[in-house]
C-alpha cells in the first residue's frame, strides 16, 4: 500500500531505478493535467507542493535538530514566495488549525507527545496548500484515544481545505470511519473499488469478503458473522500467479482464472470488482 503512495509522489524511479512502473499517474494543476511518471527529478520539484505526505511514525519523521517552526516552514521556503514575516504568520495559523499553540514554534520535537508530533506532521503537510495529501498509516503508532482525535482532525481539515486524502491503512475500522471511497488491494493490484458503504455492507470480491469477515464484532450485537478462512499461503509479489493473483486461495476459482488477469467489472453504481464470477460466491 505504501508503494502506491511512493509511486504517486514519484520517488520510486529515483530511489530504486530498477523498479518497474507502468500506466499513468495524472496530476491536475490549475491549468493542465500532467503524467508525473514522465517527469525527471528536477521537473518533479515544481509539482511536489501539490502532493504532500503525512508519515506513519511521528517519532522518526520530524528532524530532532529543527524547531517546530522550522519543520513546518521548510516546505514554504521551497514552494512559496512568502517573505519571512508571512511564513511566520502561516506557521502560526497552521499550528492553531491543528490544535497546537503558536508559541510551540520555538520548541523541539522531543518536547511533545506522539499525538502532538503527528499534528505537527499534519501542519507541515498543509503548509503548501496541496491538492492531495497521502496519509500513510498516520494513526497506527498512536494510542487508541489519540487516534480518534487525529482522524477527526483530518476529516475537518479535508473539508476546510478541500483536499483529496489518500488514507493508507490496515485498520478496517479506521478505514470505514474516515473513507468515502475505498480500494481493496491484493498483491499490489486493486481487486475491488467503490463507495465505503458498498464495500463494507455489500462486498463482491472473494478477498474483500474474507477480509471483512475478520473484523471482530462487539459481543452486544446479536447477529453472527461467519468467518471466511483463506487456505494456502500468500504468494510472493516477486512471482505472482498467472492470471488472477488471488486464484490460488480463492474458493470459486476456475481454470480460466489462470489464463488472464481479470478486468474491473461494474457491480453497481460506482462499484467495481476484478472478478467475473463474483456472483458465484
Classify strands 271-273 and 51-54 as parallel, antiparallel or unpaired: unpaired
Q: Give CATH 3.40.50.300 domain extents, the chain.
A: 2-179
Give just the sign of the alpha carbon dihedral 77, 155, 6, 142.
positive
Q: Does domain 2-179 have CATH number 3.90.380.10?
A: no
- 3-state DSSP call for residue 125? helix
Predicted confidence at residue 16, as pLDDT, reads 58
d(CA 275, CA 281): 11
Phi, psi torsion values for 168, nearest 5 degrees: -95, 125
Share in percent of the chain as helix, strand, coil (round to 5): 45, 15, 45
Give just the sign of the alpha carbon dihedral 12, 15, 19, 22.
positive
pTM attached to this predicted model: 0.83
Query: Do residues 36 and 54 make contact, with C-beta atoms less than 8 angstroms apart?
Result: no
Predicted confidence at residue 1, as pLDDT, reads 67
Query: Do residues 168 and 247 make contact, with C-beta atoms less than 8 angstroms apart?
Result: no
d(CA 243, CA 273): 15
- Per-residue pLDDT of the chain (281 residues), as tens digits, is 677 888 888 776 655 556 667 788 888 888 889 898 888 888 888 888 899 999 999 999 999 999 999 999 999 988 888 999 999 999 999 999 999 999 999 999 999 999 999 999 999 999 999 999 999 999 988 888 899 899 999 999 999 998 999 998 888 888 888 899 999 999 888 999 999 999 999 999 999 999 998 887 666 555 666 788 888 888 888 788 999 999 999 999 999 999 999 999 999 999 999 999 998 76
Amino acid at each position: 500500500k505504501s508503494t502506491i503512495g511512493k509511486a504517486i509522489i514519484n520517488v520510486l524511479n529515483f530511489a530504486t531505478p530498477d523498479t518497474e512502473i507502468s500506466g499513468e499517474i495524472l496530476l491536475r494543476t490549475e491549468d493542465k493535467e500532467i503524467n508525473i511518471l514522465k517527469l525527471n527529478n528536477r521537473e518533479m520539484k515544481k509539482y511536489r507542493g501539490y502532493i504532500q505526505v503525512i508519515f506513519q511514525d511521528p517519532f522518526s519523521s520530524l528532524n530532532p535538530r529543527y524547531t517546530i517552526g522550522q519543520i513546518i516552514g521548510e516546505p514554504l521556503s521551497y514552494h512559496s514566495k512568502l517573505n519571512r514575516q508571512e511564513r511566520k504568520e502561516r506557521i502560526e495559523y497552521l499550528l492553531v488549525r491543528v490544535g497546537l499553540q503558536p508559541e510551540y514554534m520555538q520548541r523541539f520535537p522531543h518536547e511533545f507527545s506522539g499525538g502532538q508530533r503527528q499534528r505537527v506532521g499534519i501542519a507541515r503537510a498543509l503548509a503548501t496548500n496541496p491538492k492531495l495529501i497521502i496519509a500513510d498509516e498516520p494513526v497506527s503508532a498512536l494510542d487508541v484515544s489519540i487516534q480518534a482525535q487525529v482522524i477527526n482532525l483530518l476529516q475537518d481539515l479535508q473539508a476546510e481545505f478541500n483536499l483529496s486524502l489518500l488514507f493508507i491503512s490496515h485498520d478496517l475500522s479506521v478505514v470505514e470511519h474516515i473513507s468515502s471511497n475505498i480500494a481493496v488491494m491484493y498483491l499490489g493490484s486493486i481487486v475491488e473499488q467503490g463507495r465505503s458503504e458498498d464495500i463494507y455492507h455489500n462486498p463482491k470480491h472473494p478477498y474483500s469478503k474474507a477480509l471483512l469477515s475478520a473484523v471482530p464484532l462487539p459481543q452486544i450485537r446479536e447477529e453472527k458473522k461467519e468467518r471466511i478462512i483463506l487456505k494456502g499461503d500468500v504468494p510472493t509479489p516477486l512471482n505472482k500467479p498467472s492470471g488472477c493473483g488471488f486464484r490460488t486461495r480463492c474458493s470459486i476459482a476456475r481454470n480460466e482464472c489462470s489464463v488472464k488477469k481479470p478486468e474491473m467489472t461494474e457491480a453497481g453504481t460506482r462499484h467495481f470488482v476484478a472478478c467475473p464470477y463474483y456472483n458465484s460466491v
